[in-house]
Amino acid sequence: MRLVKMELRGFKSFADKTTLVFDKGITAIVGPNGSGKSNISDAVRWVMGEQNVRQLRGQKAEDVIFAGTERRRPQGAAEVSLYFDNSDGTLDVDFAEVVVTRRLFRSGDSEYYINKRPCRMKDIHMLFADTGIGQDSMAVIGQNRVDRILNSKPEDRRIIFEEAAGISRYKGRKQEGLRKIAETERNVERIRDMMAMLE
Ligand code: ATP
């Protein structure tokens, strides 16, 4: 699996539709201070479901939407798509190319898509869990993050190893399973009460 392309529109400093193509090998993004280099890695984390806007150097969710300049009006929405070459089948879907999109409107409405079909953020998390580029992965190391990892509590650091070891997908499924068991137990309890009333 490889990130081959990225499209941004209305995300942070990228007011207009901007397409970045990542060829094989290493891509370096260079530019003056404040020109938007880090905004690109923020966009990758955002699509992957980063919920903590402070991790994206903002205060509130809508801070990722282009806020306007003296010459340009603010945008009403931010949208980012990541294109992955999945010809090696790393992602568990029957597509050789996988496009993941996140869109956020100023109203606070949020949309997620996998290959242009609406989905939940959870679906994106599950699709990328244990692939190395998921939500908590080390694929994107932001400025200051190295210090934070070194100073983090052992329990927090454990999450990093769990992602690397490939078990976070199963932890997610376990939580889902436990939730369903609890729901079923509540239903059984209700049925028992109803049967007791009928007897
Ligand atoms: P450095 O080399 O200093 O780390 P950089 O190239 O990584 O800089 P970024 O931090 O990615 O730059 O970009 C910062 C720029 O993005 C600032 O000019 C800031 O005004 C702009 N910016 C951030 N959020 C928004 C937004 N919502 N709307 C418009 N511009 C924004």
**Burial of 135 from C-beta contacts in 10 A (0-12 / 13-18 / 19+):** middle
Q: Which of 13, 41, 66 to mutate to test the pocket of ligand 1 (most atoms within 8 A of CB)?
A: 13
Instruction: Tell which one of 18, 29, 30, 38 to mutate to probe ligand 1, the residue whose CB is within 8 A of the most ligand atoms.
Output: 38
**152 and 78 within one domain:** yes
Q: Is 38 annotated as a binding residue?
A: yes
The vertex-94 CA angle with 109 and 123, nearest 5°, equals: 30
- Give the tens place of pLDDT for each residue, 154-189: 888 887 777 777 787 788 889 999 999 999 999 999
Q: Are residues 77 and 129 in the same domain?
A: yes
State the pLDDT at residue 86: 95
CATH number at residue 134: 3.40.50.300
Ligand 1 binding pocket includes 58 (Cβ within 6 Å): no
Would the pLDDT of 138 be above 90?
A: no
Residue 107 and residue 194 share a domain: no
Q: Looking at per-residue confidence, does 19 or 135 come out higher?
A: 19
Q: 180: CA distance to ligand 1 center in Å? A: 43
Do 135 and 195 fall into the same domain?
Answer: no
Residue 161 is predicted with a pLDDT of 79
- Do 71 and 149 belong together in one domain? yes
Q: Is the ipTM of this complex over 0.90?
A: yes
Which of 67-76, 97-106, 113-122, 155-164 comes out lowest in average pLDDT?
155-164
Query: Do 130 and 197 belong together in one domain?
Result: no
Instruction: Please say whether the beta carbons of 84 and 97 come within 8 A.
Output: yes
Does 144 count as an annotated binding residue? no
CB 17 within 8 A of CB 9: yes
- Examine the pLDDT at 135 and tell me if it is beyond 70: no
> Are 150 and 175 in the same domain?
no
Same domain, residue pair 32 and 105: yes
Please give the pLDDT value at position 137. Answer: 64
Question: Tokens at residue 136, please?
Answer: 């908590």
**What is the total count of domains within the chain?**
2
Structural domain including 162 reads 2-166
Residue 39 annotated in ligand binding: yes
Is 5 close to ligand 1, i.e. is its CB under 6 Å away? Answer: no
Dihedral, CA atoms, 15, 19, 20, 21, nearest 10 degrees? Answer: 180
Residue 77, Ramachandran bin (φ over 0: left; ψ between -120 and 50: alpha; else beta): beta
The answer, as to whether pTM is greater than 0.80, is no
Measured CA to CA, the distance from residue 81 to residue 44 in angstroms comes to: 9
Q: Is the minimum distance from the CB of 121 to ligand 1 under 6 angstroms?
A: no
Per-residue model confidence (pLDDT) at position 136: 63
State the pLDDT at residue 162.
Answer: 79
142 lines ligand 1 (CB under 6 A): no
pLDDT band at 100 (very low <50, low <70, confident <90, very high): very high
Residue 52 annotated in ligand binding:
no
Burial group, residue 94, by CB count within 10 angstroms (0-12, 13-18, 19+): exposed
Q: Are residues 161 and 187 in the same domain?
A: no
Please indicate, yes or no, whether residues 104 and 198 belong to a single structural domain of this protein: no
What is the arithmetic mean of pLDDT over 10-20?
Answer: 96
Nearest-CA residue for atom 3 of ligand 1: 33
94 and 109 share a domain? yes
